[in-house]
Structure 1
Amino acid sequence: MRTQDIFDKLKEHGYKITPQRQEIINLMARENRHMTVEDIHGQISTRFPNLSVDTVYRNVGVLERLNMLDKTDFGDGKGRYKLVKKSGHRHHLICLKCGCSEEVDFCPLDYLDKQKIKDKKFAIQKHNFEIFGYCAQCLEKEDE
């Protein structure tokens, strides 16, 4: 999703494009990784020294509610966010060290026996699938 599309969607839903909100979105567009609110705050607080962590949380919440951010948890209880690049559900390979992620171009649910799930009288509404490990760059750094 292009940053202009995000700004347009925010305006469409009645949100102003503040300099802080614009900086959060631009940062997330530059980064190819999932980031915590603290990561985001740390990166932009030098430019906006009065920006509070709560403001970043509120902005991230707005973007998530409007389905412009993916949220994932690396197993440590912290939410990590990344801009949505395309609509529909997505699955990722996520680096535990640097947080970069790469979408996988298939849905693992397609390979399950869905009849066995239906037999349990369970109707799937949504699902997530992320594989956590280490990216090539982080593995290369460890070998040095």
Structure 2
Amino acid sequence: MNKLSIEEKIAAAGLKLSQGKKEILEILEKNAPISVPEILSSLKTKKISLNKTSIYRALSTLIKKKLVSEIDLGEGKKRYEASSKEDHHHHFLCNTCQHIYHIRLDEMLVSKIEKNIESKNKFSIENHKIEFYGKCGDCG
């Protein structure tokens, strides 16, 4: 199966293609989770003029359409990353250098844990997020 282009993802979500949404998604697909000031800086580097309000508005729309995920790792700022069903992953935040790593887990094991939680608590899990905190190999 071919990977959809950014334009195709936006169209498939039923959204009007705008330069802002396209550029933001492009930045998010190339980076680890980043904050709005980092998105703004990347846009400036590309000589694209978008203000914070426009960025937040575009992010809100992209989040509602599940093209972007908002991540809060408890460090006092929200970060954003492109969402993808094909690339489900979790995060490790280094408490020293603040780098965020994508972590892939055995999804069969995670599914087993979900089923256990659902059956013991009569829950219906719709989604999950697993985050790890510690020191990365460089900070060690």
TM-score (norm 1): 0.71
Query: Which residue does 1:44 correspond to in 2?
Result: 43
C-alpha contact (below 8 Å) 1:94/1:132 kept by paired residues? yes
The count of residues paired between Structure 1 and Structure 2 equals 134
**For residue 76 of structure 1, what is the aligned residue in structure 2?**
75
Measured in 2, the distance between the counterparts of 1:52 and 1:129 equals 32
Q: Secondary structure at the match of 1:102?
A: strand
Name the % identity: 20
Structure 1 residues 101 and 2 mapped into 2: Cα distance closer, same or farther (>3 Å)?
farther
Per-residue deviation, 1:72:
1.5
Runs of 4+ in 1 over 6 A off after TM superposition: none
Code of the aligned partner of 1:120: N
Normalized against structure 2, the TM-score is what? 0.73
Counterpart position of 1:118: 119
* Deviations 1:43-81 (CA, angstroms, capped at 9, x unpaired): 2135134x2101111111222222122221111342211
**Aligned twin of 1:95:** 93
Amino acid paired to 1:87: K
Cα distance in 1, alignment partners of residues 42 and 114 from structure 2: 44
Are the aligned partners of 1:94 and 1:101 in contact in 2 as well (CA < 8 Å)?
yes
* CA distance, structure 1, for counterparts of residue 82 and residue 23 of structure 2: 13
Q: Deviations over 1:72-116 (max 9, x none)?
A: 1111342211112x4168332333435443231423533538446
Within-5 A mapping of 1:16-31: 16-18=17-19, 20-31=20-31
SS of the residue corresponding to residue 85 of structure 2 reads coil
